Structure 1
Amino acid sequence: MLDANLKGQLKAYMANITQPIELVASLDEGAKSRELEGLLNEIAELSDKVSLVLAGHDKRKPSFMIRRAGTDIAVTFAGIPMGHEFTSLVLALLQVGGHPSKAAQDVIDQIKDLDGDFTFETYFSLSCQNCPDVVQALNLMSVLNPRIRHVAIDGALFKEEVDARQVMAVPTVFLNGEPFASGRMELEQIVAKIDSDAADRAAEKIRKQNPFEVLIVGGGPAGAASAIYAARKGIRTGIAAERFGGQVLDTMDIENFISVSRTEGPKLASALEAHVKDYDVEIMNLQKAAKLVPAKTEGGYHEVVLENGASLKGRTVILSTGARWRQMGVPGEEEYRNKGVAYCPHCDGPLFKDKRVAVIGGGNSGVEAAIDLAGIVAHVTLIEFDSQLRADAVLQRKLASLPNVRIITSAMTTKVEGDGARVTGLSYKDRNHGTAHDIELEGIFVQIGLVPNTEWLKDAVALSPHGEIEIDARGETSQPGIFAAGDCTTVPYKQIVIAMGAGSTAALSAFDYLIRLPASAETAEAA
């Protein structure tokens, strides 16, 4: 399964294994079991510290456990972790084999101190770019704490189990047999979710922070660029983010980032965070802003109140909170979210193999989603509100050539139908004739654009009718000393490279604002 180049890379990584490990395989007579056995044999041949044991008794077949010899330290994969999960496999081999994690030491200590018995099960798909973060986080936790167990399950190989547990989105995590969480999560988020005191400790740590010269809210491309440019000026810089990387983490392929022919969202987000950490920037992740209180006097401190009750102050503030997927806002959508209503065709598409789905939206993202899904599902119905599709002509031609796609224009989705457990259909209204129609299906993929994350800024800065922060060419908002950048602003094009440039502009403008403050303002206390 591994080509010569991949084998060479893996062998180099496995040189970091310091303790013997066993690959304990549970196999049957199926083709996938033979495929897994071949992969495990190839891995075992690359290191004298790795041995293969074909005597596993796991109920899921094919599956295998990576176990530190003579101990209970182990992680388990049910399936063949290739595709996006190959990195998870490599890290599991290294960490079970004694190679230290790069996680922050305080987080490692927190995991080791967790009290209780935790058995996690994560359902993933090989095409999901968000799944590896969850799989790798839980694998690491099971290596660090002997009372934590984790098995990562390829939903495509265990369809009966997926259907029985009503898994309709990935990653989906169960804890001790009960639903725990769905969607992308970072290590710190998972730990905080099971450590009841974590939020209070984080809030207390934030309360002790001194005011910043530049305080950035949001950790996407705009926020990261702002932090780097501000820190390079030698001024005290902090960045508070609900999740570092932002919307980029949910992006599959990136092919228009200048000088990089192709990359993936999570990989770019990781590079952004690493670059910010090269500088003296205080990063406060997993912190959601709830309110902005502008300074009452020139040069005074602006205050950002966080959802956990703590607050941060900055002489200047850069708002870069980005945007999120726009919802349809119809009855049943929220009720059946992750129960058939989905927003990421790359992640969740494989769970709808041979089923009927709809895509809502006829722009580029909607048509691309329909094209991708057409190769997996039984049938795709694309529903567009406008009288015609808005996607690029080349995408429309490709879509029209697919035999299992139906296109409905001038249609307004009115309701998501379900049986209480999962989606069973949707209703729409013909905008030309006013007639109502129903479609029986099992999945709905919503692709109707983005909405800015600015609800918390109402009455603090001027917003456009669409909720975007109004800025000028320098990134200045309606409030002196408060700047904004990226997809949450009135900038006309929502692109990664544009957000980075806007973030850099905002940071330079903030620095220019600071150096032009009168001496009396520089020493002003926050009101």
Structure 2
Amino acid sequence: MLDANLKDQLRAYLERITQPIELVASLDDSDGSREMLALLEDIAALSDRITLARRDDDPRKPSFAIHRTGTTVGVRFAGLPMGHEFNSLVLALLQVGGHPSKLAQDIIQQVQALDGEYDFETYFSQSCQNCPDVVQALNLMSVLNPKIRHVAIDGALFQSEVDARQVMAVPTIFLNGRSFGQGRMDLEQILAKIDTGAEARAAEKLKAKEAFDVLVVGGGPAGAAAAIYAARKGIRTGVVAERFGGQVLDTMAIENFISVSHTDGPKLAVALEEHVKAYDVDIMNLQRAEKLVPARLPGGLAELHLANGAVLKAKSIVLATGARWRQMNVPGENEYRNKGVAYCPHCDGPLFKGKRVAVIGGGNSGVEAAIDLAGIVAQVTLIEFDSKLRADAVLVAKLNSLPNVKVITSALTTEVRGDGTRVTGLSYKDRNTDNIHQLDLEGIFVQIGLMPNTEWLKDAVALSPRGEIEVDHRGATSQPGVFAAGDATTVPYKQIVIAMGEGSKASLSAFDYLIRLAPAEDKAAAA
């Protein structure tokens, strides 16, 4: 199952196990069970602290549990944890085997203090780059607290179960049999949902913080770069982020980041956070900004109001709030979001195996999505508003070569249709004739670009008609002491490498602003 090189790497990791563990398989006669048994036999052969047993007592087959021998500590995988989930398997082996987590001690204590019974189930796909965060977080929580149990389920392998529970996006989480959440969540986000007092405690801590010299709003490439450049100047720096990594977390392949020939979004997001943490930066993750009050006078303090009620103060602000997937804004879209309407073909595509889907958008993202989905689903219909596809010629040629893809141009999607629980089709208008047509299908993947996360700033700084923050060549906004960078601004070409450069520039501009204020502050202090 595992090649020699991978076995050598895994053997080195397994040397970190300090307590004996047991792999307990529940199998049937399927090909998936034979693959799982081969995988487990390979793993057990790599360490004398690992044993393999077969009990066949779990209703989900193939599945296996990883137990710490003689305890109730353990996790379970239903299906093969390969692809993006192989790292989840390795971490589970280490953590059940006693290898300590790098999680902050206060968070560990918070997990251990949870009372009650928590049975989590997570549906994942091997191609989903968002799923490992959820799987690894819940696995670790179950290792830290015996009252928490978790099983990670490959949705593509348990299709009947997915259909019965109406799982149409991954990751999807159930807690004690009820829907708990969908989409990427890290451990702190999950913890905040089940520990109801956590938000109030966090707000009290934030309220007590002293004013920052530079406060960065956003934890994507632009925000990370701004924080690093500010911290290197030796000034008090903070970062407020709704989720550190931002839109990069939802990006699959990255092949144009100069000097790195290939990476993916989650890996880059981890690297960004580690780099920021190498400096004296106060990272305030999982915090949503709701209002910015610029300083009344140059040299005064700006105020950043957070959703939890806390207010942070700073001498200068760098706005790096990024962007999010643009929606169609048609009837039915929000109602059927994650019930057939999806925005990540890499993540959710395997759940639509053998079904009919539409892709909305004829740019590079839309055409790439249609090409990827064509290898999984029965039929792809690509719908483009313009009279022709706008993607690169090489992508269009590839698309046109696929037998199960249909392209409709000059079409405006007007409605998402469903039966109350899931998508059943869509309606579109032919822009040449104004005739309305209907398509019967099970999934819709929206790929029509991004929109800036700036609604909360409309009364604070000048925005363009498209909602982007207007900035000059130095990254300065319409308000003194407030700078901006990245996809949320009017700077053209929304690229990671550009966002990093703009974040660095905005931070340097903020520092220049601060040092030019110093003499005025000194005079005020002397007076």
Say yes or no: TM over 0.5.
Answer: yes
Q: Which range moves more in the overlay, 373-382 or 52-61?
A: 52-61
How far apart in 1 are the matches of 2:112 and 2:61?
Answer: 31
What residue number does 1:11 align with? 11
| Residue number in structure 2 paired with 1:154 | 154
Aligned residues: 525
CA distance in structure 1 between the partners assigned to 2:59 and 2:524 by the alignment: 67
Residue pair 1:354, 1:376 contacting (<8 A) in 2 also: yes
**Does residue 57 in structure 1 map to residue 52 in structure 2?**
no
* Alpha-carbon spacing, 1:432–1:29, altered in 2? closer, same or farther (3 Å): same
Please report how far the alpha carbon of residue 405 of structure 1 lies from its aligned counterpart in structure 2 after TM superposition. 0.5
Q: Distance in 2 between matches of 1:231 and 1:524?
A: 26
| SS of equivalent residue, structure 1 residue 149 | strand
1:115-514 matches, cutoff 5 A: 115-514=115-514
Displacement after TM superposition at 1:330 (Å): 0.3
Distance 1:489 1:500 in 2: 13
Per-residue CA deviations over 1:61-80 (Å, capped at 9, x if unaligned) read 00000000000001000001
Q: Secondary structure at the match of 2:22?
A: strand
Cα separation, 1, equivalents of 2:23 and 2:258 = 42
Return the letter of the residue paired with 1:385.
Answer: F
Q: Compute the displacement of 1:459 (Å).
A: 1.5
Match of 1:101 in 2: 101
- The one-letter code matched in structure 1 to 2:197 is D
Alpha-carbon separation, structure 1, partners of 2:486 and 2:462:
16
Residue 55 of structure 1: how far off its partner (Å): 1.6
Deviation at 1:521, TM superposition (A): 3.5
**Per the alignment, in what secondary structure is the counterpart of residue 517 of structure 1?**
helix
SS of the equivalent of 1:516 reads helix
CA deviation after TM superposition for structure 1 residue 104, in Å:
1.0
Structure 1 pair 522/418, CA: closer, same or farther in 2 (3 Å)?
A: farther
1-structure distance, mates of 2:275, 2:419: 48
Query: Aligned partners of 2:124, 2:518: CA distance in 1, in Å?
Result: 56
Distance 1:376 1:522, change over 3 A: farther
The AA in structure 1 aligned to 2:438 is D
Question: Could you list the per-position Cα deviations for residues 170-207 of structure 1 after superposition, in whole angstroms to 9, with x for gaps in the alignment?
Answer: 00000000000000001100000000000001101100
CA apart distance, 1:519: 2.4
Structure 1 residue matching 2:517: 3-state secondary structure: coil
- Secondary structure of the 1:324 match is strand
Q: Secondary structure at the match of 1:445?
A: strand
Question: Secondary structure in 2 aligned to 1:416?
Answer: strand
What is the Cα deviation at residue 41 of structure 1?
0.3
The letter of the residue matching 1:29 is: D
1:352 touches 1:443 (CA, 8 Å); kept in 2? yes
Q: Structure 2 vs 1, CA of residues 380 and 518 (structure 1 numbering), >3 Å: closer, same or farther? A: same
Task: Sort the Cα spacing of 1:522 and 1:424 in 2 relative to 1 into closer, same or farther, 3 A.
Answer: farther
What residue number does 2:73 align with?
73
Q: Using the TM superposition, give the Cα deviation of residue 82 of structure 1 relative to its aligned residue in structure 2, in angstroms.
A: 0.6
The aligned amino acid for 1:468 is: E
SS for the counterpart of 2:413 is: strand
Aligned to 2:30: 30
Q: Post-superposition shift, 1:220? A: 0.1
State the alpha-carbon separation in 2 of the partners of residues 310 and 376 from structure 1.
47
Cα distance in 1 for partners of 2:373, 2:317 equals 42
Report % sequence identity: 75
The AA in structure 2 aligned to 1:19 is: Q
- Tell me the secondary structure at the aligned position of residue 437 of structure 2: strand
**CA–CA distance in structure 2, aligned partners of residues 494 and 25 of structure 1:** 47
Cα distance between partner residues in 2 of 1:439 and 1:49: 56
Distance verdict in 2 for CA 1:237–1:27, change over 3 Å: same
**Pairwise CA RMSD:** 0.9
C-alpha distance in structure 1 between counterparts of 2:175 and 2:121, whole Å: 7
AA matched with 1:183? G
SS at match of 1:331: coil
| Offset of residue 522 of structure 1 | 6.0
CA contact (8 A) 1:299 1:522 kept: no
Of stretches 49-58 and 313-322 in structure 1, the one that deviates more from structure 2 is 49-58
Q: For residue 217 of structure 2, what is the amino acid of its counterpart?
A: V
Any gaps of 5 or more consecutive residues in structure 2? none
Q: Which amino acid aligns with 1:242?
A: E
Which residue type is aligned with residue 187 of structure 2? Answer: L
For residues 32-85 of structure 1, the C-alpha deviation after alignment (integer angstroms, 9 at most, x for no partner) is 101100000000000000000012411000000000000000100000101000
Q: Counterpart amino acid of 1:366?
A: G
Asked if structure 2 preserves the Cα contact closer than 8 Å seen for 1:300 and 1:524, the reply is no
- SS for the counterpart of 1:437 is strand
Given that 1:300 and 1:521 are in contact with CA atoms closer than 8 Å, whether structure 2 keeps it comes out as no
Counterpart residue type for residue 20 of structure 2 = P
Residue 402 (structure 1) shift: 0.6
Aligned CA distance change for structure 1 residues 131 and 524 (closer, same or farther; 3 Å): farther
Report the Cα distance in structure 2 between the residues aligned to 1:274 and 1:265, rounded to whole angstroms: 14
Q: CA deviation at 1:524?
A: 6.8
SS in 1 for 2:256: coil
Mapped to 2, the partners of 1:2 and 1:227 lie a distance apart of: 41
Partners of 1:56 and 1:5 in 2: CA distance: 31
2:103 maps to 1:88 = no
- Amino acid corresponding to residue 271 of structure 1 in structure 2: A
State the Cα distance separating 1:518 from its structure 2 match.
4.7
From the superposition, tell whether residues 522 and 106 of structure 1 become closer, same or farther in structure 2 (CA, over 3 Å).
farther
Cα deviations by residue, 1:247-272 (Å, 9 ceiling, x for unpaired):
00000010000000100100000000
Letter in 1 for 2:283: I
What's the secondary structure of 2:469's corresponding residue? coil
Deviates more, 1:145-154 or 1:513-522: 513-522
2:483 alignment partner, SS class? strand
**Aligned equivalents of 1:51, 1:209: Cα separation in 2:** 50
1:455, 1:467 within 8 Å by CA — same for their partners in 2? yes
Q: CA–CA distance in 2 between the matches of 1:223 and 1:10? A: 35
Structure 1 distance, partners of 2:137, 2:438, is 42
Which TM-score applies when normalising by structure 1? 0.99
Q: Distance in 2 between matches of 1:181 and 1:105?
A: 26
Counterparts of 2:58 and 2:301 in 1: how far apart (Å)?
A: 59
SS at match of 2:126: coil
Q: 1 CA distance for matches of 2:3 and 2:353?
A: 29
